[in-house]
Structure 1
Amino acid sequence: MDARIDILFSRNCLPSAAFGTIDVLRIANFLWRQRHRKSSAFPLHWRLIDARGRTVKLPSLICDALSPSPDSRFKAPPARTALVLCGLNIESPAHLDETLAASTLEVQLIKARHAAGGIVAAYYSSVALPAAAGVLDGREATITWMLGGWFSHTFPKVKLDMERAITFDGNVLCAGSLDGYIPMALELVRHFLGDELAQTCANVILHDSSRYKQSSLMLSTLAKRTRDGVVFKAKKWLEEHIDKAYDLEAVALASSVSTRTLLRHFQEVVGDSPLGHLQTLRIERARQLLEITVLDLSTVAEKCGYRDTRAFRRLFKSQTGISPAEYRQRYAVSAEHRL
């Protein structure tokens, strides 16, 4: 399952793609480890290379920021490798022509890697490099709109499709926009680790307002505070004991008042009883655990203070309108929403 991604630091490259791609791969590795807790290894390995295929050494400060990193010396069969081309920092089509003319080593590397069966991935202006190498002849590609006319004229054998943000044809992956390295990296995750993990990464990385509106991440009960000292102390105790059995006497003791005074203050300030508030906290905690963990339902229920899974399931459905299983399928980071 392991794969290696080599990121080419060519002349005039835009380094954002290099480190942005690494960020996506690191997130993918983290999510993979969350699902394979018995494994101490990472499935995706990467390194920065120059046009001769040699590893580029980074300053210690950057290395520390990227730690922990997989083994950059990991060797994979060609079919489990990818060569990522950073965008080129060019001023004009004429400047790009000059850059391509001076990129003999890069073009040779691209040809060799593609011929061996590896993936070549380019975005923004660097799509010109695989085109210059001839590996896009007869294949679909996309590029930044600013270079569309120049590209179609310079490389007429390439099937340029400016309507698409990303193309993947004949082991050549192209993304058109300046930030195209993100969907490009996600597509590499999809290719090497599967649809589900790639979708998980997309759900984590990409903005989707509907997820925020519908998921527990927007709920503020856990974060709300009150200026009423009695209620503040009571809420704090309840938040810290979500997984424990409800004890009104203990809540009142923590609030330094009688149970009767506590119930009156709580109703006046919160509009609910301490037990009702605790149930709301527990359901919010359950929603968060269902979204961001792979814990089984009985464990989720236990962490939310319920020893009876069936009772928890009934209460959850009464509060949310759907069962815990349905909620996880719809809102978990592994939910298969389309990109």
Structure 2
Amino acid sequence: MGSVALAVTDGMLHYELSVAYEVFASAPDAVRVPWYDAALYGSGTVRAGRFHLETDHGLDRLPQADTVIVPGWADIDVDPPADLVEAVRAAHEAGARVASLCTGAFVLAAAGLLDGRRATTHWAHTRELAARYPRVTVDPDVLYVDNGSVLTSAGKAAAMDLCLHLVRLDHGSAIANTVARRLVVPPHRAGGQAQFVTAPVPARDDHPLAELLPWVVERLDHALTVEDLARRANMSSRHLSRHFRSVTGTTPLRWLLTQRIRRAQELLETTGDSVDAIAAATGMGTATSLRRHFNRTVGVPPDTYRRTFRSSRDSRDPRPGA
């Protein structure tokens, strides 16, 4: 899927850099599609935390890359290095897709790429980003923001979310999920544009709901109620609610709605089923109900969500009706 340039300089955060390199430098064994050509672009030897890294290319070659990733960097109290800022700006002007991880957003902002755009960074630095670059609309409440050719992520784990989001856009859901499984991380913390669905997951398997939860997930097309779940678990509704709060951190209805939304996301990403059919398959009843809950939870309507995750795959698939 073209070249991925990891734009690095002294003071880069090694975690975000290693996340991007792990995702883009090598494809999982199960993936049988052309993978990315990932390399480090910088000036000779650069320091990332306690590590010293030899770069593959100079920053002057950054405009030749298809995708540029700017990892976080530690010293946000000073302006980003001018040569890095200029190279990132030149790459974007040359048509590259540019993404920042964590405080890498300060580099994109200094390059003017975030002017008039919504962006995010590590929550601890969102106020500083907004104050220093007032033309940027800083959103502190999201994991990442996708503006098409310019993307930004929050810190640490959100860097992985954005990298997997890019893989999903380029290769589709199935391959992105394969990469996530290899890395033992959640395959998709959804949305990309607004709110993100966080699915409550039990911390261990030996809990009172161990048999109930898989049973429910297999029957999401049914109009299940709390009473149905309590009956299946041989508990009172009150007892069930207490166990749900202890095991998942949320209520039975909230957990059930989250599972329905996640199933709807999967169907929107991988099938051509109508919104009405997906509403029925997920137990949401009607398309109106699905749209209301989906928009409120994910932050975008189902049709918009589908276009986001199917357009790039469809453009690569020459088959009629694909």
Give the TM-score taking structure 2 as reference length.
Answer: 0.50
Instruction: Please identify the structure whose Cα radius of gyration is greater.
Output: 1
More helix by share: 1
Give the TM-score taking structure 1 as reference length.
Answer: 0.48
